[in-house]
Structure 1
């Protein structure tokens, strides 16, 4: 195995994980809600006056955060990811992720962060499934195609 040291980012990955864990804990302790993006977005399709404001605020923060980072962080810390795929492949991948999220009753953040921390067996199976599928896909694309 060879590590791509140019793109290996353990510091920012660790910081991102810590921030996600804190956000998930704060949301759960304050409202009993799970920090699953799919569930948060899905709740907007059945809006209630009590539920919609925090969901909209959360999603607005999610979409605004890159702009805030661009305004506050030095330019050498910000790098846009390079995606080596055409638009058709990106759209198909997005549809497959959406299908898997629906089929698995939740997304990676809901199962991987919140479900595992609550010791949910369903989340363990889901997390092992999507991680295993990702590992196999990368192996096939890099070594067999």
Structure 2
């Protein structure tokens, strides 16, 4: 079972500052389309309303899959995360069970459409209001 590294739990002010700094390094905040939220909810076994909004940021020019052209969203990142984490763990993180978390690590992910590995490391927050930030340095 995956657990949260408590050294990554921060105050709301620290979290807000980290979000602002992280998204300055990207092409901007990309909200996850409703269709992708529906797919993600089904993968996680929850209602779409449980997930709220999620956003991702990618380095400029890396917002879409180089192989198939799909515009990335949080679905691509979370679906890949299911290979390392349980559904329950992802839902707990996404619904704020652990408080405000800043994770300085980010993993490559696979495109939801074509399945190819994407070499970029996204920054993402979830849900809305956010409580989890993954922002590689």
TM-score higher than 0.5: no
Structure 1 or 2: more strand by fraction: 2
Structure with greater contact order relative to length (CA < 8 Å, sep ≥ 6): 2
Q: TM-score, normalised by structure 2?
A: 0.25
Structure 1 or 2: more helix by fraction: 1
Larger radius of gyration: 1
Q: TM-score, normalised by structure 1?
A: 0.24
